C-alpha cells in the first residue's frame, strides 16, 4: 500500500474565518465541497469541517485522513493486518474513501483520488 500523505482534520465553528487563516498559513487556496450537511474546505494539509454538531461528533472520532494510491489495495492490506473496516470503500466528491479502526483502536480515513 502506497501512502501519499496525511491530512489533519479540524472541526471549526466559523468556516469562513478559519479558511482565511488556513489559506494564509498554508499559502494555498481552499478546495470546498459539502458532504452530509457538513461544509468542508481542504487547505494544504488541513481539512476544515463545519456543520451540525451531530455530524461533527462523528467526524471528530477520525484521527486523520491518509491519502493512498488505491483504496482497494489499502482495504486489502488493512484487512489482512487485522484492522476493522467501519465503512467503505465509498465514492466521495474527489475519489473514494474507507474508514478503518486499527488494532490499537485509532480510527483513520483512507482516501484516493481515483474516480469511481
Between 35 and 62, residue with greater pLDDT = 62
* Interval 8-57: pLDDT, tens: 999 999 999 999 999 999 999 999 988 889 999 999 999 999 999 989 99
Give residue 53's pLDDT: 92
Look up cell 481542504; give the residue. 42
Give residue 66's pLDDT: 94
Residue 33 CB partners (closer than 8 Å, separation 6+): 40, 93, 94
**How confident is residue 116, by pLDDT bands cut at 50, 70 and 90?**
low
Give residue 105's pLDDT: 94
Average pLDDT over residues 86-105: 91
Distance CA 1, CA 12 (A): 32
Mean pLDDT, the chain, integer: 92
Give residue 13's pLDDT: 93
Amino acid at each position: 500500500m502506497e501512502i501519499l500523505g496525511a491530512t489533519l482534520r479540524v472541526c471549526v465553528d466559523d468556516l469562513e474565518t478559519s479558511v482565511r487563516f488556513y489559506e494564509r498559513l498554508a499559502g494555498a487556496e481552499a478546495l470546498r465541497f459539502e458532504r452530509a450537511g457538513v461544509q468542508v474546505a481542504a487547505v494544504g494539509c488541513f481539512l476544515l469541517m463545519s456543520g451540525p454538531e451531530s455530524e461533527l461528533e462523528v467526524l471528530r472520532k477520525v484521527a486523520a485522513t491518509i491519502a493512498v494510491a488505491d483504496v482497494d489495495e489499502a482495504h486489502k492490506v488493512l484487512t489482512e493486518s487485522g484492522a476493522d473496516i467501519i465503512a467503505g470503500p465509498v465514492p466521495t466528491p474527489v475519489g473514494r474513501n474507507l474508514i478503518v479502526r486499527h488494532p490499537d483502536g485509532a480510527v483513520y480515513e483512507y482516501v484516493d483520488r481515483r474516480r469511481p
